[in-house]
Amino acid sequence: MDAPSRSTTRSPSRRAVSQARFPRPRLVSHRAASWIAPFWLAVFWITVQTTGVVAANEVVQTAVDGKLITVEGRILVEAQDGGLLLEEPSGRQWTLEPQDIVTRTRNDNQFAPITSDELAALMRERLGDGFQIHQTEHYVIAYETSSAFAIWVGSLFERLLRGFDSYWGQRDIELNEPAFPLPVVILGSRARFEQYAEQELGGPPGSIIAYYHLLHNEVVMYDLTESDDPEPRRGSNADRINAVLSRPEAYGLVATIVHEATHQVSYNVGLQQRLADYPMWVNEGMAAFFETPDLRSRTGWRGIGQLNPLRLPQLKQCLLDREADGLVRTLVDDQRFKSGETVLDAYAEAWGLVYYLSRVKRDEFAAYLRDLQGLTPLGVSAADERLELFREHFGQDLEALDREFVRYIQRQR
């Protein structure tokens, strides 16, 4: 990620729009980005120039909510109107509108990702004295709960990262080590999570229990062993974790945090680029493909690509009432992932399509993902381009492919 030369990977075509400007710097979760990023792409951008990574850092003073702040890092994207996508050495990214940029200079500091210890210090400073830090090989976990739960999360996430790398490596997809230490925040209670998330996302988090913050590159969650029981919690921390894993709802809890952690891993090992215009079915289908827990394991997760008992029944029901152009709509229509009426079906179909392609069209799917690795931040891929790329790898007859997909899913038990 910090190579000094211009990328030579394949990039999508760009489309011009009128009166373009950059979006205001704001905080956005991966879930929120699925709603907001396409709007940015369609409204705010004229053309996008992906820059080579420069040796010196840019120092930008910018106005955010009426306050002047200074951010320093490398410029990933610069628009014709002067707007910037800037990445800090911590891995945080800023989208900066030209009218909010007060000054812009370059210093002699070489851009280099910060160390795990440096990220830990930044997180302590930002979050306050109530948080402790647990560090693993790749993760920096700030927590205001038991150390046992933080250690459990760290073990789970490290296992996911190793499994992710191994799985795609066996399919000849080149990945890299994360350039940045990966931050995780664990709040001590559901109430604290709601408070924290509302400040970051600009609204209540609803029923979600975890999210991946796309610009902060951070997974945020809360202690799943927390109980609403007013009586003091008895037993060791390990006992409470085991008790959580034995609950009927444990499958969904573990699946959710693995789903969000998969987004973080995918964006940090080079399978995807943050703020690139990936089809939503790829984003969410791959995360759902990795989310299946194994509650018999001490970490709560062990397998990759198993049948997903949360998604499969939903998908089978969805396919009963599916319109004839259902596959094409899944490939090009991201709005299905944003409507309350269709979101569950969309996620189920995304999982099912990734499950089917990874098992039945393994080589073609790997080649397709390698092409998607060439997408660049804030580029735009039109619907016809998405279909063209999909047909290039899976054939022109999408109706025949769809029939095969439906039959395959119907056979799963």
220: which 2 tokens?
């945020």
Q: Are strands 182-187 and 218-222 parallel, antiparallel or unpaired?
A: parallel
Residues 6+ apart with CB under 8 A from 214: 28, 29, 30, 32, 33, 37, 93, 267, 274, 275
Residue 22 is given by DSSP the state: P
Is the pLDDT confidence value at 37 over 50? no
Among the ranges given (166-170, 251-255, 358-362, 400-404), the one the predictor scored with the smallest mean pLDDT: 251-255
Note whether 217 and 182 are within 8 A (CB): yes
Q: Tens of pLDDT along 320-342?
A: 988 888 999 999 999 999 988 89
Instruction: Output the pLDDT for position 39.
Output: 33
pTM of the model: 0.86
pLDDT confidence of residue 323: 86
Tell me how far apart the alpha carbons of residues 107 and 162 are, in angstroms, rounded to a whole number.
37
**Which residue would you say has higher pLDDT here, 347 or 379?**
347
* d(C-alpha 267, C-alpha 283), whole Å: 10
Average pLDDT, the chain: 84
pLDDT of 32 strictly over 50: no
Q: Is the pLDDT of residue 46 over 50?
A: no
What are 282-293's pLDDT values in tens digits?
999 999 999 886
Q: What is the predicted pLDDT for the residue at 20?
A: 31
In this prediction, residue 66 carries a pLDDT of 84
Residue 75 has pLDDT above 70, yes or no: yes
- pLDDT at position 14 is 27
Domains belonging to the chain, first-starting first, are 30-110 (2.30.30.520), 116-271 (3.40.30.160), 312-411 (no CATH)
pLDDT of residue 65: 82
Q: How confident is the model at residue 252 (pLDDT cuts 50, 70, 90)?
A: confident
With cut-offs at 50, 70 and 90, classify the pLDDT of residue 16: very low
Q: Model confidence at 26, in pLDDT bands (50, 70, 90)?
A: very low
- At 299, the pLDDT band (50, 70, 90 cuts) reads low
Lowest mean pLDDT segment, chosen from 6-15, 198-207, 251-260: 6-15
